[in-house]
């Protein structure tokens, strides 16, 4: 400080009557605060020159009228040098805020940059507590850090500290503080020097970059539009905003093509995701955006907007529900950004900040736009995948039985655990001749439409082969031929054809239940062994040997096993994932199946469905549960026949007696008699003993004639001049279905006739 600058004018009592600019700069007190105060109190808080405080002063008397005053002048430095000049320059002009603290952490000197625009009275700066002068968000923590430096002498460098907002500042500030201990020539502790640099903008820029990195890392991992929207709000709140809302064009949510930009004013939007405190509309709500709001403006021109919320925001009244939610949440600023990709509109995202948060800045608009750009790309990928998934799921759903086809001799329920990533499991219940029922489960390794198409082809093949009355092992062998041809066709596709990603693999299990013989014949191809629980809670001793997958190498057979299953037995068939949990002896849900004999089938189904583990990586899986019933003995007639001309009259007479006992109408009885006569006549002429007639009354009236010859009858179209050859043609015209079933010791020819009225047992 130059020598001779007036610091103050003091009266005889020691009170300040004038306070010069040099004193104000030196001590940080304005004339209004200093005039009238004791000069000793004002200047006594400043340290000596060794600590960078007051320079030497000169005091001389001044006559003012009749009063004697004392003028305090700067005497200048006795030996000015470069160190003093550097200190003076730092405290006067350096952009770094400097604070000199005594050993009680009081400010004894501060640089011009340290004063800043803060709303701390000047009289409370020099001599005031360091933590109050700097207005720290956590003053106690910062005082502890300063004391630690004072005690240990170890400096603290580049400590990021947040300061609370003042009326003169629009937002909180972040400053980098460093602390160094002051010592005299003998090592005595004088205090601390604290330096501070405002790094608010730097930290915000780093925060924005880190935030965008998190968005890219956490958004878009699941190929589902709704999931992507939820991922957006989860990463945005609270890192970037206190409330986030994602609204998506309703057609996009369903996998349809997005509209071209700009969107029409009345386009319906679905609230796909929300996170925050107050919501104007529930998630899932579909509505159009009212015109005259920032949201409609964004959809009109596809430009993000920063909106300040205040009492004059009249657009809040245009959308009352949303406006009320915004007011109740004490929102102070809002960013609305479009979800747009390659000229197509996917939706809009709204980001809110409340009163206790820093308001959004223009730089934040670019961050919001970057978030929406990444989200739009992920949503478009998910939309395209969802479209294929929706088609595949719909196709597969239609491939499964749409209604129960189980006969009265079986109680059946199916459990289907879907997996969005896989779509290749199915089950079937197919009625067969002789009141029998085929229970089928199968799976195809793969995803999406490819797996669904293969399932449809295999399921069609199974139904076709089942109509031929093949035994389970023979049916699997024929089905294996079909699957092998499909696998070869897929393997021959060009490299870039959208076929299966790897070799086609399929498995199937077939169980044929006979309610008359109370047996079940099972064969399996690449699927787990089924489990039967008898009415007493035990399981049969025999096992079903494994067979290769349908597309396995070679021509390995599919061995079949016939199990005796009394009435009330529970049979469980499943594909891999559910089989591991329920059918395996050590499976976690096996106790539920072991207790099947003590519960109803629907209750068992619900218990397994509730307890089954949700494994997102597992293939889609199904389980078929069946409980056997015996056909009442009164609904079956079994009659051995002689192998001569007497067979037909005996069969006709027995048939008429039995149909009369069952209460079958005369027209059906006449048709049945005709069918039985034709079947028995063919067996006598072309078959071999032993001959047997069997009538079964179930959902249909079944007529069966068995003989020991392996040959099959066939329909002949007789000429008008022929006297024979029309028998089976007539049977085919009268019966709902007819066919031939081969077995180890011959064949059985059968026909099914409708029963008009409910018969008496």
Cα distances from 307 to residues 165, 297, 656, in angstroms, run 21, 12, 91
Is 633-753 a CATH 3.30.565.10 domain?
Answer: yes
Residue from 475, 394, 478, 483 nearest 439 by CA: 475
C-beta neighbour count of 684 within 10 angstroms: 21
Q: What's the pTM?
A: 0.55
* Cα(367)–Cα(297) distance, integer angstroms: 19
- pLDDT, one tens digit per residue, over 353-399 is 988 888 898 889 999 999 999 999 998 888 877 676 666 666 666 66
List, in order, residues 6 or more apart from 558 with CB less than 8 Å away: 472, 473, 476, 477, 480, 523, 524, 525, 547, 548
pLDDT tens track for 415-473: 887 665 555 788 999 999 989 999 999 988 876 677 778 888 899 999 999 988 899 99
Average pLDDT over residues 528-543: 90
Cβ within 8 Å of residue 230, ≥6 positions away: 272, 273
Task: Name the residue among 175, 203, 25, 1 with its Cα closest to residue 85.
Answer: 1
Q: What is the pLDDT of residues 596-644, one digit of tens each?
A: 989 999 999 999 988 886 554 456 788 999 999 988 889 999 999 999 9
- Looking at every residue in the chain, the average pLDDT score rounds to 82
Phi, psi of 672 (to 5 degrees): -65, -40
- Burial track 247-277 (b if 16+ CB lie within 10 A, e otherwise): bbbbbbbebeebeebbbeeebebbbbbbbbe
d(CA 549, CA 544): 15
Please say if the pLDDT value at position 119 is more than 50: no
CB of 346 closer than 8 Å to CB of 252: yes
Per-residue pLDDT band at 76 (split at 50, 70, 90): low
Q: Are 126 and 110 in contact (CB under 8 A)?
A: yes
Q: What is the CATH number of domain 403-628?
A: 3.60.40.10
Instruction: Specify the fold of 204-390.
Output: Beta-Lactamase (3.30.450)
**Maximum CA pair distance of the chain?**
164
Whether cis (ω within 30° of 0) applies to the bond prior to 690 is yes
Tell me the C-alpha distance between 612 and 239, whole Å. 37
Nearest to 405 by CA among 397, 394, 413: 413
Residue 395: which residues within 8 A CB-CB, separation 6 or more? 449, 452, 453, 456
Could you tell me how far CA 85 lies from the centroid of its own chain?
A: 66
| pLDDT above 80 (res 564) | yes
pLDDT tens for 719-747 read 443 444 567 777 888 888 888 998 888 99
Domain ranges for the chain: 6-164+176-184, 204-390, 403-628, 633-753
Model pLDDT, residue 319:
84
Q: Report how far residue 261's alpha carbon sits from residue 278's, in angstroms, rounded to the nearest whole number.
A: 30
With residue 219 as reference, give the H or E element that holds it.
none
What phi-psi label fits residue 112: left (phi over 0), alpha (psi between -120 and 50 degrees) or beta?
alpha
Q: What pLDDT does residue 350 have?
A: 93
Distance CA 135, CA 167 (A): 12
67-74/6-10 β-pairing: antiparallel
Strand ranges for 294-365 from DSSP E: 305-308, 331-341, 344-354
Residues 37-50, mean pLDDT to the nearest whole number: 57
Mean pLDDT score, 680-689: 91
Phi-psi region of 206 (alpha: psi -120 to 50; beta: other; left: phi over 0): alpha
Per the CB < 8 A criterion, the answer to whether 351 and 236 are in contact is yes
């Amino acid at each position: 400080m130059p020598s001779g600058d007036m610091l103050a004018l003091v009266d005889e009592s020691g009170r300040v009557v004038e306070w010069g600019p040099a004193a104000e700069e030196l001590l940080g007190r304005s004339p209004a605060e200093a005039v009238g105060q004791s000069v000793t109190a004002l200047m006594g808080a400043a340290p000596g020159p060794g600590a960078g405080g007051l320079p030497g002063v000169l005091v001389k008397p001044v006559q003012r009228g009749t009063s004697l005053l004392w003028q305090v002048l700067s005497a200048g430095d006795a030996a000015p040098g470069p160190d003093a000049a550097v200190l003076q320059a730092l405290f006067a002009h350096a952009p770094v805020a400097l604070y000199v603290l005594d050993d009680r952490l009081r400010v004894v000197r501060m640089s011009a940059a340290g004063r800043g625009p803060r709303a701390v009275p000047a009289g409370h700066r020099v001599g005031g507590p360091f933590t109050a002068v700097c207005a720290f968000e956590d003053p106690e923590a910062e005082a502890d850090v300063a004391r630690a430096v004072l005690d240990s002498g170890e400096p603290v460098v580049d400590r990021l500290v947040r300061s609370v907002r003042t009326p003169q500042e629009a937002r909180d500030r972040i400053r980098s503080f460093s602390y160094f201990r002051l010592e005299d020539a003998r090592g005595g502790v004088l205090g601390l020097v604290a330096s501070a640099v405002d790094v608010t903008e730097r930290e915000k820029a780093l925060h924005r970059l880190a935030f965008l990195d998190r968005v890219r890392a956490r958004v878009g991992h699941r190929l589902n539009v709704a999931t992507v929207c939820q991922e957006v709000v989860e990463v945005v709140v609270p890192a970037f905003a206190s409330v986030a809302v994602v609204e998506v064009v309703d057609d996009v949510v369903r996998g349809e093509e997005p509209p071209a930009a700009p969107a029409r004013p009345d386009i319906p939007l679905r609230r796909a995701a929300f996170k925050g405190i107050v919501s104007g509309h529930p998630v899932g709500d579909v509505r159009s955006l009212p015109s005259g709001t920032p949201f409609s403006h964004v959809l009109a021109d596809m430009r993000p907007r920063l909106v300040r919320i205040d009492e004059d925001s009249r657009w809040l009244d245009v959308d009352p529900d949303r406006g009320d939610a915004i007011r109740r949440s004490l929102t102070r600023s809002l960013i609305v950004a479009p979800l747009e990709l390659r000229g197509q509109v996917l939706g809009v995202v709204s980001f809110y900040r409340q009163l206790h948060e820093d308001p959004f800045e223009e730089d934040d608009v670019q961050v919001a736009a970057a978030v929406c750009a990444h989200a739009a790309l992920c949503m478009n990928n998910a939309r395209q995948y969802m479209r294929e998934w929706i088609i595949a799921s719909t196709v597969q759903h239609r491939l499964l039985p749409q209604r129960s086809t189980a006969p009265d001799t079986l109680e059946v329920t199916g459990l289907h655990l879907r997996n969005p990533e896989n779509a290749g499991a199915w089950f079937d219940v197919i009625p067969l001749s002789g009141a029998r029922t085929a229970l089928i489960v199968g799976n195809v390794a793969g995803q999406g439409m490819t797996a669904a198409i293969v399932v449809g082809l295999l399921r069609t093949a199974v139904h076709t082969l089942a109509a031929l009355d093949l035994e389970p092992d023979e049916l699997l062998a024929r089905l294996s031929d079909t699957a092998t041809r499909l696998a070869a066709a897929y393997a021959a596709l060009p490299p870039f054809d959208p076929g299966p990603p790897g070799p086609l693999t399929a498995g199937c299990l077939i169980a044929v239940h006979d309610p008359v013989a109370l047996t079940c014949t099972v064969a399996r191809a690449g699927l787990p062994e089924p489990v039967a629980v008898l009415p007493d809670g035990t399981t049969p001793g025999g096992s079903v040997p494994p067979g290769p997958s349908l597309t396995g190498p070679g021509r390995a057979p599919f061995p079949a096993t016939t199990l005796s299953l009394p009435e009330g037995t529970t049979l469980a068939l499943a594909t891999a994932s559910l089989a591991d949990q329920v059918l395996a002896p050590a499976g976690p849900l096996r106790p539920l199946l072991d207790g099947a004999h003590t519960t109803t089938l629907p209750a068992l189904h619900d218990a397994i469905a509730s307890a089954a583990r949700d494994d997102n990586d597992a293939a889609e899986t199904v389980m078929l549960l069946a409980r056997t019933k015996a056909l009442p003995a009164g609904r079956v007639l079994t009659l051995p026949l002689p192998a001569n001309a007497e067979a037909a009259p005996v069969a006709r007479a027995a048939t008429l007696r039995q149909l009369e006992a069952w209460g079958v109408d005369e027209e059906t009885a006449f048709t049945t008699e005709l069918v039985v006569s034709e079947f028995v006549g063919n067996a006598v002429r072309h078959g071999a003993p032993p001959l047997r007639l069997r009538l079964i009354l179930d959902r249909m009236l079944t007529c069966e004639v068995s003989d020991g010859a392996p040959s099959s009858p066939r329909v002949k179209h007789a000429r008008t001049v022929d006297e024979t050859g029309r028998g089976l043609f007539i049977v085919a015209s009268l019966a709902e279905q007819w066919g031939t079933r081969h077995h180890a010791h011959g064949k059985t020819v059968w026909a099914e006739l409708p029963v008009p009225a409910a018969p008496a047992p």
